[in-house]
Amino acid sequence: MIKNTVRKEFLQRRMNILEEELQQQTALLAISFRKLILPPVNYLMSYNPLASRHEFDVSVCEDILKEQNVMMCIAWPKIHVDLLGMEAVQVEKDGLFIKNKFNILEPIGGAIVPPQNLDIIFVPLVAFDERGYRVGYGKGYYDRFLAQCRPDAIKIGFSFFEAVEYIEDIDEFDVPLNFCITPHRIYEF
Ligand SMILES: Nc1nc2c(c(=O)[nH]1)N(C=O)[C@@H](CNc1ccc(C(=O)N[C@@H](CCC(=O)O)C(=O)O)cc1)CN2
Ligand SMILES: Nc1ncnc2c1ncn2[C@@H]1O[C@H](COP(=O)(O)OP(=O)(O)OP(=O)(O)O)[C@@H](O)[C@H]1O
């Protein structure tokens, strides 16, 4: 399947999940995440989920990592719509956030974290394949950003659905995940 077909199909499937099931699957996904053994983390890049698009709420996974790494700093994506660019900005969880053009909460103020400092990146996605390639909303924000991160930064995706077999039109800009967590499985690529 090609990215556009996968994107459409999985966005639709995700929007069809009912609220109660969404909560159950979110809890199962968090249980899966807890089983993952990760090295010590200084800098995590997380994201603020778009509930209106049924994105997985990663905050429980932030809390799990924070329990294991008490000094860990968390950064959040801030996009530059014109440049299709993105920065990691560090603020406290109770810091100031404002909604961007896409209704996603972004930090106001805070320090920019150089992408090279990030140890773990939670990567939003719509679908992924058995090789760890992903599709998002199709603007390439994450692909551009991940290209600036250390090759050994651990990229983790979350999905309510299992992997598709093979996304055909992968290009040189696509950066694969290291792990994808689902309610029933941990994929390691
Ligand atoms: N929670 C979360 N934060 C994130 C992302 C994400 O996927 N999820 N991103 C991951 O990249 C970046 C934002 N990227 C986005 C790209 C497109 C659309 C979107 O809604 N596009 C519309 C078209 C709207 C328009 O062009 O004006 C659409 O797809 O219908 C949203 C976010 C950074 N932060
Ligand atoms: N590092 C890059 N430099 C230039 N163009 C890029 C880069 N990364 C991705 N692109 C381009 O951005 C476009 C969108 O890519 P793609 O369809 O893979 O987005 P996506 O992974 O679904 O989106 P996102 O990363 O925002 O979640 C493609 O045309 C791709 O070639």
pLDDT in tens, 166-180: 999 999 999 999 999
pLDDT in tens, 35-55: 999 999 999 999 999 999 999
Cα distance between residue 172 and residue 164, in whole Å: 20
Cα dihedral 5→88→32→103 (10° resolution): -60
Above 90 in pLDDT, residue 56?
Answer: yes
Where are the chain's structural domains?
A: 3-188
Does ligand 2 come within 6 angstroms of the Cβ of 135? yes
Distance CA 122, CA 74 (A): 11
Q: How far is the CA of 104 from the centre of ligand 1 (A)?
A: 8
- Residue 160 in contact with residue 30, Cβ under 8 Å? no
Distance, CA of 76 to CA of 44 (rounded, Å): 9
The secondary element (H helix, E strand) that includes residue 22 is: helix 19-34
Pocket flag, ligand 1, residue 174 (CB < 6 Å): no
187 a known binding residue? no
Counting atoms of ligand 2 from 1, which one is nearest the CA of 143?
A: 8
pTM, to two decimals: 0.96
Q: Name beta bridge partners: 188.
A: 179
The CATH superfamily holding the domain 3-188 is: NagB/RpiA/CoA transferase-like (3.40.50.10420)
Percent of the chain residues past pLDDT 70, beyond the cut = 99
ipTM of the predicted structure?
0.92
Ligand 1: does its nearest atom lie under 6 Å from the Cβ of 81?
no
Ligand 2 atom closest to 134 (CA): 21
Identify which ligand lies nearest to the alpha carbon of 49.
1
Ligand 2 site, residue 155, Cβ cutoff 6 A: no
